Structure 1
Amino acid sequence: MASLAVDKVVKVLISGAGPSGLVLALSLRKNGIPVRIIDKELGPRLGERGAGVSARSLELHKILGTFPDVYGDNRKPIPWRRDYDPLDGHKIVKTFSMVPISEPTIGIPHGSPIFLGQNHHERILRSHLAELGTTVEFGTELLNFTQSENEVNVETIHRTPDGKEEVSQSTASWLIGADGAHSAIRKTLGLEFLGETIDSIALAFGDFKISGPPRKFLEQWGDVKTRFTFTRPSAQDPDVLNFMMAGDINIEEILSSSKATTEAFYNISGRRDIIIEDVIWSSKYRPNIRMVNKLRVGRVFLAGDAAHCHSPTGGQGLNSSIQDAFNLGWKLALVEKGHASESLLDTYAEERLPVIAEMLNKTTELLKHSPLAGKAAPPRSQADNIRADMSQLGVTYRGSSIILQKATNAGLIQNIGYNKASVDAAQPGDRAPEAPGLVDVSGNTFSVYSLLSPSRHTVFIFSGGYSGEDLDRISGLVRQQPVDTVHGVLVHSAQTTPADNCKFEKLLDEKGNAHATYKVDGPCIVIVRPDGVIGARVDDPSGVAQYFKTVFQDHV
């Protein structure tokens, strides 16, 4: 019988150590918030699973400090796809790129997605979390919880590989359900998971362990009108090949044993020259296209697959989960520190739900025209148009209640969601563009994203046109905000020289990159949120006070 233990109070309890849970935990720890993160699995999950990392996710990794590991030496671009003759698995029919190629620019230096197996992605996040003193408690499952006005009481059970069990009770200020599509927390909250399961589509998927030369392409064999198989090489492990089989197949029989899975692949592909040594993991999958209509109930939140799940087309699951976590993290940190009202937390759903809804529509459209639906691909231009949005660089929060939009730019306001103009418009609600070549007085160089932090807002003051009195006023407004929550940076061109007594960090925009990517042609103040989103863009210093009054409300 399980023993009962009583744990101490924790600030934030996160159930689920997938990408959303890990990113949220790391974001909160970077804000100095104590976190406990649990996962019912006995150890890290096997398998590549969601391997595509979008351009926007790469930018968020820069802010989080994990970019060098994510975009390290083992990174791989999305491979080209190679389709074979249904009657001859050795005969190549066509080879092509599945994703639009994005050449690097000053504002978007990493515009193309990369492949990083989810198992490796999560390992990187766990490593950075461990450096901050937080480790994932594997083998620990949330059994139930109740909440009051000020806390959440939880009961968990910890299981060890040798079968021992221990039940514990603890209290948290906040509970986060990042526990996947079958979320126990979502079900306990009684939230509807609106949408559909597409029963007409079912597939077997998993990872093979192979020997011999590594595969270099995304490869498809068979006939999409009958049965086919699709494989993807691992970006990090040359002996791992991710597979998917669909169509007129008996999935239960295929997954009954490693031998049956291997034989099914050979029968469809005709490629016995690909030597399969083992099946690392496998599972049955049906597309679920669902989302909640709430992301918060009191002191409990949902993020990632617990809040939305969708077809695998478009590679939006992992990346949307990361954006969920980043959006919630800085807001929850401000509230927990007492710098902002709890009403700030309502903007998590306000900003994320419209994006999720539109994402589901886009990925479902891709699914309808995919081999999984037994149909030929849509016209290339139509597919590329949809896939271009999969970079998530065009995700915008324009129109959010905490985004400050100048009245003169009212015509630019659009609904929260995807907006192609927001990729590089540098308007309030849009992503903050990158800009290299900022130089301090000692000759050190920076980029915009190297100055951003998950624990503070960054105020960029483009100095041209501001008097010394104006800068003193802006400095005073920045200093009025809660300690360590706002960092001011004065960006000046070679033609302007800031006063010696300027109280901001002073950086020379040596080649004009920042002025160009932010489209600055006069006095301008750009406030970038901790999640890399432009919260305000104003010319009058009073806009600084107006924006932060909205975020911090009466806590300044």
Structure 2
Amino acid sequence: MTLPSAQPEALPPDALADVLVVGAGATGLALACDLARRDVRALVIEQQDGLFPGSRGKGVQPRTQEVFDDLGVIDAIRAAGGRYPKMLTWRGDQPVREWDLIAQDATEPGTPYPAPLMIPQWRTQEILHERLLQLGGSVAFGTRLAEFTQDAEAVTAVLESADGDRRTVRARYLVGADGGRSTVRRALGIAMDGETVDPRPALVADVRIDGLGRGNWHAWPEAPEGALLLCPLAGTDLFQLFAQYATGEPVLSLDEVRRLIGERTPLDPEAVREVRWASDFRPRAALADRYRAGRVLLAGDAAHVHSPAGGQGLNTGVQDAYNLGWKLGQVLRHGAPDSLLDSYESERRPVAADVLGLSTRLHRAGRSGDPVSVQRGKQTSQLGVGYPDSPLTAERRTGLPEDALRAGGRVPDFELPDSTRLFDLLRGPHFTLLAVATPAPATHPGILTREFAALDPLSPGLYLIRPDGYLGLATRDAADLADYLALVSGQHAGRAM
């Protein structure tokens, strides 16, 4: 594992940025990448001296893989990761059952990445950071947000380096992507209420172990003092250790990991050669009351935290960033009204609430010992996430069949008449207008327009696809397009939506 150099970026006094991103986790880095390709000047700061070093969020869901495709990192992500191995349940030194944690559903049409991918969080963040550098961005490591204020025009933030040096920056917007203990959220006074999912503390660590097969995810659910799992991390020679504590508190040390291995598994404690990273936590589910306060917005764990069951955390944060990035771009570069940013909370907060419920159910189901109850499939893929009730959703057609693609839904991939794929058209920071057996009206440069005499599975009409791959407008009347564009670009329209 090679982490980027922890050299802080030089920050001139009274620097001006479009967006100040606080936190260089997966959420902050994905947002910075999206903003960079929109020519939005983002300053990313990270309090730590380098990128997060652990594997914690190791599952990348199918929908997030589509996001990574659009951001230009999917090839690197897939090369660095791998498929989830089958679970192997043990009772002491006896293997009991081999089973699939990931439901083996048939490949669905319109889904280029049907299966979750395992890749350690540290590697995902490395790849996103490398992509940000390619796009001309950077991260100021070893830099914390000391304080901030906001006015009608911008946010004024005081940044402090590890040596105590302070700089003041002005940014049009500030995004707190600084984790569950978010400094930004607390400074805003935004409550984050929730519940303890499981009172038992747990230890998670990345370890190197000799003599353990890497073909399975090994589980000792009935081990004394709490379950213990060892998952081979794809693309590495490490295992992720997860151990619950019925009594006592986790200790983050090599000796403690060896003790756990010796007491709960048939493995020799001395087989544990190294602990690369370790952390302790208590699973909790909580949701911020608001995602926005003036020119400050929250994303990722700063807005929602939950159990790791189901592999939803990193994915929900990345998709927060994907939703917010194009809206900030429209406001800052294309004249959209500031009110467009209000749709970020109205769209993403209900998604987070659903994710919290799902993760909590899966976590508690896992305590029953029934493998089927924790199996992951369509419910965790996030392909079904949509925004049917969003103020940015305009379905103007009537009499649709039950299975028709409707405004607010994720647009699936499918083959175009020239044998290319729809996702090839969507890739990039633009809107996409599909005119099917309908004349395409004139549009501005931020919209890629394609006309088709016929296009299965779409019926005749106009389909405006948002930059994040969701169908914003579906209509048979070209006049509706001008009204919709007023919402997302500030262009004059004849009538309101």
Report if TM-score (shorter chain) is over 0.5. yes
One-letter code of the match for 1:427? R
Q: Is the 8 A contact 2:88 2:99 kept in 1?
A: yes
Deviation readout 1:119-164 (Å, 9 max, x if unpaired): 11111111111011111111111111000010101011112xxxx3
Deviation readout 1:403-423 (Å, 9 max, x if unpaired): 1112526997xxxxxxxx7xx
Deviation at 1:222, TM superposition (A): 4.8
Q: Counterparts of 2:192 and 2:87 in 1: how far apart (Å)?
A: 34
Deviation at 1:212, TM superposition (A): 5.1
Q: Which runs of 5+ in 2 are unaligned?
A: 1-9
One-letter code of the match for 1:246? Q
One-letter code of the match for 1:241? F
One-letter code of the match for 1:14? V
Partner of 2:35: 28
Partner of 1:461: 435
Pair 1:547–1:554, CA change in 2 (3 A): closer
One-letter code of the match for 2:148? F
Q: Is the 8 A contact 2:21 2:28 kept in 1?
A: yes
Partner of 1:245: 243
Partner of 2:392: 402
Identity %: 30
Q: Counterparts of 1:199 and 1:523 in 2: how far apart (Å)?
A: 52
Matched, 1:545 2:477: no
Pair 1:391–1:36, CA change in 2 (3 A): same
Which of the residues 108, 112, 115 maps onto 1:112? 115
Q: Is the 8 A contact 2:200 2:246 kept in 1?
A: no
One-letter code of the match for 1:404? A
Q: Is the 8 A contact 1:106 1:435 kept in 2?
A: yes
Partner of 1:328: 324
| C-alpha RMSD of matched pairs (Å) | 2.3
Partner of 1:14: 21
Matched, 1:428 2:407: yes
Deviation readout 1:441-480 (Å, 9 max, x if unpaired): xxxx5311111144210011223xx4xxxx2xx232x2xx
Matched, 1:367 2:338: no
Partner of 2:471: 534
Q: Is the 8 A contact 2:150 2:295 kept in 1?
A: yes
Partner of 2:462: 525
Q: Is the 8 A contact 1:341 1:554 kept in 2?
A: no
Q: Counterparts of 1:409 and 1:265 in 2: how far apart (Å)?
A: 61
One-letter code of the match for 1:490? E
Partner of 2:310: 314
Deviation readout 1:344-388 (Å, 9 max, x if unpaired): 0000001011111111111111111113xxx3237x3x655x742
Partner of 2:84: 78
Deviation readout 1:307-364 (Å, 9 max, x if unpaired): 0000110111000001100111100111012421011000000101111111111111
Matched, 1:349 2:375: no
Deviation at 1:199, TM superposition (A): 5.8
Q: Larger Cα Rg: Structure 1 or Structure 2?
A: 1
One-letter code of the match for 1:325? A
Deviation at 1:273, TM superposition (A): 8.3
Pair 1:142–1:411, CA change in 2 (3 A): farther
3-state DSSP of counterpart to 2:320: helix
Q: How is 1:451-490 mapped onto 2 (pairs within 5 angstroms)?
A: 451-463=425-437, 466=438, 471=439, 474-476=440-442, 478=443, 481=444, 484-490=445-451
How many residue pairs get aligned? The number is: 484
Q: Is the 8 A contact 1:245 1:265 kept in 2?
A: no
Pair 1:57–1:332, CA change in 2 (3 A): same
Which of the residues 260, 265, 276 maps onto 1:269? 265
Which of the residues 422, 430, 441 maps onto 1:448? 422
Q: Is the 8 A contact 1:293 1:353 kept in 2?
A: no
3-state DSSP of counterpart to 1:108: coil
Q: How is 1:44-63 mapped onto 2 (pairs within 5 angstroms)?
A: 44-63=51-70
Q: Counterparts of 1:168 and 1:304 in 2: how far apart (Å)?
A: 26
Q: Is the 8 A contact 2:89 2:221 kept in 1?
A: no
One-letter code of the match for 2:464? I
Q: Counterparts of 1:310 and 1:224 in 2: how far apart (Å)?
A: 25
Partner of 2:95: 92
Q: Counterparts of 1:173 and 1:426 in 2: how far apart (Å)?
A: 36
Partner of 1:218: 217
Matched, 1:291 2:287: yes
Q: Counterparts of 1:66 and 1:168 in 2: how far apart (Å)?
A: 33
Partner of 1:377: 370
Matched, 1:279 2:272: no
Q: Is the 8 A contact 1:222 1:269 kept in 2?
A: no
Structure 1 runs (4+) deviating above 6 angstroms are: none
Deviation at 1:554, TM superposition (A): 4.5
3-state DSSP of counterpart to 2:319: helix
Q: Counterparts of 1:49 and 1:115 in 2: how far apart (Å)?
A: 11
Q: Counterparts of 1:199 and 1:461 in 2: how far apart (Å)?
A: 51
Deviation at 1:268, TM superposition (A): 0.4
Pair 1:226–1:438, CA change in 2 (3 A): farther
Deviation at 1:437, TM superposition (A): 5.0
TM, length-normalised to structure 2: 0.92
One-letter code of the match for 1:209? R
